[in-house]
Amino acid sequence: MNDLVRQHTALSDSDLEWLHMLVSEWQLLSDLSFADLVLWVPTLDGTRYVSVAQMRPNTGPTSYQDDMVGHLVPRGRRPMLDSALDEGRIVREGDPEWREEVPVRVESIPVRRDGRVLGVIARNTNLLTVRTPSRLELTYLQSASDLAQMIAAGTFPFPGQQVDMDASPRAGDGLIRLDADGVVQYASPNALSAYHRLGLAADLVGHHLGRTTAELAPARGPVDEALVKLASGWAPREFEVEGNDGVIQLRAIPLKPKGVHIGSLVLLRDVTELRRRERELITKDATIREIHHRVKNNLQTVAALLRLQSRRMDSEQGREALNEAVRRVGSIAIVHETLSQNLDERVEFDDIADRVLAMVAEISPGKVITRRTGRFGILDAEVATPLSMVLTEVLQNALEHAFDQAEQGVVEVGAVRGGSRKEPRLLVTVQDNGRGLPEGFDPHRAGNLGLQIVRTLVEGELGGQFDMVRAPERGTKVLLDVPVRPEKQH
């Protein structure tokens, strides 16, 4: 719509915003009218109309099989559009049109803002299935007529009340028509069923909706006057009411077709099961976070016990083995700590990598600098946990074996997202400028425990590839290639 309006018309940005507000609301008008809606806006030179939006009803058959958006028609070809635009009134005159052997009643509703007519809504009703209307259909049509008059007067939609129609109740979910005093004139079967779930034992018709709703809500001292007012439909609002193990979502729409409040429409939907599932998910998320938090605490306890044990060891080799175990446990604890703060099982791994770097750097025998380039991005927990251990082992190996005592050096971790869109991969390098690999060294057969852990985790658990090679100038370069999920996938 933005492109069509800016390309063909002279409407301002504020006018365009008004049309967006209207289009966000007009599914309601279409459903209440049982009709298709097409929004026509005059072109810049005033000789034609361009259709910038279209809506089909959920409550009846469509009048248009084809998409009308973007069509241009010259002024004069559709006289009802001309009359509505020029005279600023709703035009209903004329005989039905025949489209592909289907009779269609056409009406034109001017769209007014600040006293100016911005365009015209063509309301097209398929007459092929017209029958004697029920009380529900009569209420729908009367409500649609009131809304059309408000659009023509520039009082609908309500400024500052743009609605998410995907989340708001629709006419078919449940509809209540109130008079000017807030007394129910009509309640659809779905609306009545929703109130019965709240605990209502009687009919709604003839009762004041605001007071009835407040009585069904849980008693919390005095009657909630705000709830009474909201459910009476005096202001355009959305709210929820919970009672008797039921939850209903309501949306109030005041009706002022001629500038005078004549009543209200209240759309409502039973969202009991939806809210129950949301509560279950919230509880599940909280439980998962608590589990990660407890696992992190337990791992830290294990690390502390290993640390205590290492201090009592007389063997230097045994003490170092326990210290390595402390770092391995610590790298897993870092991942669980991060997961305990998230709502899903995905983590931003860059922070974890930095913390692992800092933890392992504590064992540096000399003035070795550790740093990270690139970014790991967001990873699944089942990738993050083994990858943190792999990173710990590789860094620990580099800091222990690449440099002599008190030797200065650099260990750099690099991360790049690669692969294809269908098969994304994470490419990780750990490079030092130390003494390099000994002659004949084969990383795939080395019996070192740390390298065995790396091979097992990378090739077995992560389904990736691992290699160690001589760096181009000096030192050693470790290569990790791991399959991952795309970052934007949820």
Q: What is the pLDDT of residues 346-385, one digit of tens each?
A: 888 998 899 888 887 776 656 788 889 999 999 888 888 8
Indicate if the pLDDT at residue 160 is higher than 80.
no
Q: What is the pLDDT of residue 224?
A: 61
Average of per-residue pLDDT across 474-487: 89
**CA 261 – CA 283 distance, rounded (Å):** 44
**How buried is residue 282: exposed, middle or buried, by Cβ count under 10 Å (0-12/13-18/19+)?**
exposed
Q: What is the pLDDT of residue 366?
A: 60
- Which one is predicted more confidently, 409 or 265? 265
Indicate if the pLDDT at residue 219 is higher than 70.
no
Q: Confidence band (pLDDT; 50, 70, 90) for 447?
A: low
Q: Which residues, including other chains, have CB under 8 Å from residue 194's CB and lie 6 or more apart?
A: 174, 246, 248, 268, 269, 270
Q: 317-345: per-residue pLDDT in tens?
A: 888 888 888 888 888 888 788 777 776 77
Q: In this structure, what token pair is assigned to residue 374? A: 């690139």
- Which one is predicted more confidently, 382 or 110? 110
What would you report as the CA-atom Rg of the chain, rounded to the nearest whole angstrom? 34
DSSP string spanning 8-67? H----HHHHHHHHHHHHHHHHHHHHHTSEEEEEEE-TTSSEEEEEEEE--SSS--S-SS-
Q: Is there a cis peptide before residue 189, judged by omega within 30 degrees of 0? A: no
What does the DSSP 8-state code read for residue 91?
B
Indicate if the pLDDT at residue 125 is higher than 80.
yes
Q: Confidence band (pLDDT; 50, 70, 90) for 286?
A: confident
Q: Confidence band (pLDDT; 50, 70, 90) for 163?
A: low
Considering the entire predicted model, what is its pTM?
A: 0.64
Q: Confidence band (pLDDT; 50, 70, 90) for 489?
A: very low
What does the DSSP 8-state code read for residue 457?
I
DSSP string spanning 234-263? SS-EEEEEEETTEEEEEEEEEE-TTSS--E
Residue 378 and residue 349 in contact, taking contact as beta carbons nearer than 8 Å: yes
Q: What is the pLDDT of residue 490?
A: 41
What does the DSSP 8-state code read for residue 183?
B
Q: What are phi and psi of 351, to 5 degrees?
A: -65, -40
Tokens 């009569």 belong to residue: 138
Q: What is the pLDDT of residue 406?
A: 65
Task: Express as a percent the part of the chain with pLDDT over 70.
Answer: 94
CB atoms < 10 A from the CB of 201, how many?
6
Q: What is the pLDDT of residue 315?
A: 86
Task: Express as a percent the part of the chain with pLDDT over 90.
Answer: 47
Strands 36-42 and 116-126: antiparallel
